[in-house]
Homo-oligomer: A and B are copies of this chain.
């Protein structure tokens, strides 16, 4: 019965952990960027470096899935998970990039709530990755990510409503809306990661 004891390429798990670890770095840089007093040019450069490193990890996963005969779970789930993790990074990178590009100096206070949600999501995701190998303990992770996503959504909607309450000029609204939408997009992407992990766990259990 070779099906039962098939050899699997364990290093997929390491690559996914590496991918999640990039998101912890990214969310920290985001917090620095939105905080006071940092050198924004330098933070944005470090974010670009983190985004390139994340790209390379994604690329390594895709190369391996294409050249490996037996994968620890379905190929399409590996692609989906790698690509969802990559989406989180892209959205965080975009947020940092737009802050610099648009020359925004003050952000609505609630954006710090969005960034806190992102930092918590990154921490939980990096902790959840080793569970991929054993398919254990993913329930709590999944519930907590969903709770965080809801909290993030509330912040996002409050910011949007405030942007239109008359305090901001149209030009500011255009800029800030893009930035908070990137942050919200990164949170949504974390939820997609959690949903894919749940789906893999259901299939494999």
Q: A residues touching B (Cβ–Cβ < 8 Å)?
A: 62-63, 66-67, 76, 97, 101-103, 157, 160-161, 164, 169-171, 173-175, 177, 199, 202-203
Contacts and interface: CB of A to CB of B under 8 A. Distances in A.
Given A169-B170, A170-B169, A174-B174, A102 B63 contact: no
A77 B160 CA distance: 36
Contact of A101 (B102, B161, B177): B161
Task: State the main secondary structure of chain A at its contact with B.
Answer: helix
Contacts of A97: 157
A160 B101 contact: yes
Given A66-B199, A66-B202, A164 B171 contact: yes
A184 to B, nearest CB: 12
Given A67-B202, A102-B164, A171 B171 contact: no
A79 to B, nearest CB: 9
A76 B66 CA distance: 13
Given A76-B76, A164-B171, A171-B173, 14 more contacts: A62-B199, A66-B199, A66-B202, A66-B203, A67-B202, A101-B157, A101-B160, A101-B161, A102-B160, A103-B161, A170-B170, A170-B171, A170-B174, A174-B177
A31 B102 CA distance: 28
Contacts of A202: 63, 66-67
Nearest to A165: B103
